[in-house]
Chain A
Amino acid sequence: QSALTQPPSVSGSPGQSVTISCTGTSSDLGSYNRVSWYQQPPGTAPKLLIFEVTYRPSGVPDRFSGSKSGNTASLTISGLQTEDEGDYYCSSYTTSSNWVFGGGTKLTVL
């Protein structure tokens, strides 16, 4: 099971919006709406941001939103804040009853 494909890095200025893409295959993203996104600030454990493509857990700001089309999912962060810096990972359930993560995207807030 290969990792999902994410851009290595994205950047934006405070207040702007950025979108992180996550591309998979028909064995994962293309088969299910079981996509989640995680934020990992440096030196800390990952934190769930989005589940089932578009849903936010309690406490996650609505600046974070998710979407999916075919084999590609996206995370959009609007109104960028300096505390949004860190690594972001997508994840998908697969047809093998496994999970697969993306390679991660480093977000820099300029």
Chain B
Amino acid sequence: EVQLVQSGAEVKKPGESLKISCKGSGYSFSTYGIGWVRQMPGKGLEWMGMIYPGDSDTIYSPSFQGQVTISVDQSISTAYLQWSGLKASDTAMFYCARRFGDDAFDFWGQGTMVTVSS
């Protein structure tokens, strides 16, 4: 069974750093891209970027380029999303999702809620 299991909810202060994770299982992790999607409270989905675990090739949405870093540890089938200086406006639910075919995301993690507040 394909699963993406994300790390738990986080509460951080502005300026702090954070790294959340997404562990894949039940499939060949290196074969499929992993995307990250933000959903701010009460708002829609926003594509942040994608990493291809096989070669760590990464592409970012222009809206998130320079704001976050996406990485992967293929040896433990885990993708990461990290911030070096959180802002209150980073408060959101973050989902990882497996790229499927040419255009879609077929399996999604359960989401990681990040709350940034002083």
Contact = CB atoms under 8 A, between A and B. Distances in A.
5 contacts: A34-B102, A45-B110, A48-B100, A91-B103, A100-B47
A84 interface: no
A97 interface: yes
Taking each of B50, B102, B111, which has the highest tally of chain A beta carbons within 10 Å of its own beta carbon? B102
Contacts of B37: 46, 101
B95 interface: yes
A69 interface: no
A101 B102 contact: no
B101 interface: yes
A85 to B, nearest CB: 17
Contact of B95 (A3, A34, A45, A52): A45
B109 A91 contact: no
A17 to B, nearest CB: 23
Given A46-B97, A51-B106, 7 more contacts: A1-B61, A34-B102, A45-B110, A51-B101, A91-B47, A93-B103, A101-B46
A98 B102 contact: no
Contacts of B80: none
Interface of A: 1, 3, 32, 34-36, 38, 40, 45-48, 51-52, 57, 87, 89, 91-93, 96-104
Pairs of residues from A and B, 6 with the lowest C-beta to C-beta distance, nearest first? A34-B103, A51-B104, A36-B104, A104-B44, A45-B108, A99-B47
Contact of A89 (B45, B59, B101): B45
B27 interface: no
A101 B40 CA distance: 14
